[in-house]
Amino acid sequence: MMTSLFSMFDPTAIFMMPLNWMLMMGTLIFLPIPMWKFNSQSLMLMNFLIKSLNKEFKALFSNTILIKGSTLLPLALFLMIMINNLSSNFPYNFCPSAHLVFSLALSIPVWSSIVMFYWTTLTKSMLAHLVPSGTPNMLMPLMVLIELTSNFIRPMALAVRLTANLIAGHLLMALLGNTFNPSSYFWLIILLLQTSFLMFELMVGLIQSYVFSVLMTLYSSEMS
C-alpha cells in the first residue's frame, strides 16, 4: 500500500543492494544486436533513428568544434534516456529518470567536461563570450557574472526539466489507475483514457530524451 503518490518513486533494496537502479543497465537488452544475416525490423528502425539524429546533430554543432565522433555523446545520451523513459511506463518497473540523482549525474559531468574542453582549447573565444559585443563599460563586470551564472545553471535546468516532466506524467498515470473499476458503468471510457494517456506518456518519454540531447548540443555549440 502506498503511503503517498510519491512513494512509487522510492527505490527499494534487498540485502543492501539497490536492485531498482540496476534496471538502468538491464535496459541494454532492448538494444537490437546485429547478429543475424539479415537485419531485423527493430535494428533497421534503430539505424534509421541514429542516422537521422546524426545528421541533425551535425547541423547543430559549430564548424570550429565539429570533428569526427562529435555526435557520439548526444546520440548515447538520447538512447540511454529514451530506453529508460519508455521502459518506466510499464508495470513493475522503476523510473530512474524521475530522480534528480539520475538526471544530474548525466548533465553535470557532461556539461563540466564540455566547458573544461572549451576553456582549454578555445580560451579566447570563451573569454569573448563572457562580454557580448556592444556592452557598455559600466556593465561589463555584471555581464561576466550573468554569463558565468547561466553556464552553471544550464545543466541543472536540463536535469530539472527531464525529472519534472516524468514525475508529472507518472503521477497522472497513478491517479488514473486508481479510478479504474471494472464493475462501474464507465469502465470502458476510463480504460480508453488510460490507454491514450499511456501512449501520450510514451511520446513524452521519447520527446524528453530528444530535448535533453538537443539542448545539450545547442548549449555546447553556443559557447564555441
Task: Give 3-37 as a DSSP string.
Answer: SSGGGGG----BTTB-TTTTHHHHGGGGS----SS
Q: Using an 8 Å Cβ cutoff, are 78 and 5 in contact?
A: no
Please say if the pLDDT value at position 72 is more than 80.
yes
**Which residues are paired to 17 by β-bridges?**
14
CA separation for the pair 161, 97 (Å, rounded): 11
Give the pLDDT of residue 67. Answer: 65
CA separation for the pair 215, 222 (Å, rounded): 10
pLDDT (tens digit, 9 = 90+) per residue, 194-209? 888 888 888 988 899 9
pLDDT (tens digit, 9 = 90+) per residue, 172-189? 887 777 776 777 777 778
Give, in order, the Cα–Cα distances in Å from 141 to each of 41, 55, 133, 146, 187: 56, 39, 14, 9, 63
Give the pLDDT of residue 62. Answer: 65
Please say if the pLDDT value at position 50 is more than 80.
yes
Per-domain residue ranges for the chain? 70-223
Contacts of 68 (CB under 8 A, 6+ apart): none
- Say what the pTM is: 0.80
Q: How many Cβ atoms sit within 10 Å of the Cβ of residue 71?
A: 20
